[in-house]
Amino acid sequence: GQVTVTQPGAVSSAAGGSVSISCTTSQSVYSSNSLAWYQQRDGGAPKRLIYSATTRASGTPGRFTGSGSGSSFTLSISGVTAEDAAHYYCQSYHSINSQHVFT
């Protein structure tokens, strides 16, 4: 029931530019879209940006876009600002041999 998640190291963009952050899981997520993205600024609590792979959480600006399905996902940020400097995490949910696995 082990699942590994791979994300890139640091990514960068000039202000006003765009950036994409990938998330790859070793096994497909449940129902093809059971993946969320979180933003965590230094010293702050994680904030959910995206759920169900593509749906923006309340308060998430439209310049944050989630895409992908199965085991390959991307968070894209357009019109990057200084406030976007943060750690970004993906969280996946899997059903493996009738066991629930969260990463």
Q: Is residue 95 part of a domain?
A: yes
Q: What pLDDT sits at residue 99?
A: 83
User: Which tens digits make up the pLDDT trace of 17-70?
Assistant: 999 999 999 999 999 999 999 999 999 999 999 999 999 999 999 999 999 999
Q: Is residue 91 part of a domain?
A: yes
Inter-residue contact 41 to 49 (CB < 8 Å): no
Residue 12: exposure state from Cβ atoms within 10 A (0-12, 13-18, ≥19): exposed
The CATH number linked to 72 is: 2.60.40.10
Q: Is residue 3 part of a domain?
A: no
* pTM score: 0.95
Close Cβ partners of 77 (under 8 Å, ≥ 6 residues apart): 13, 18, 19, 20, 21, 63, 64, 65, 84
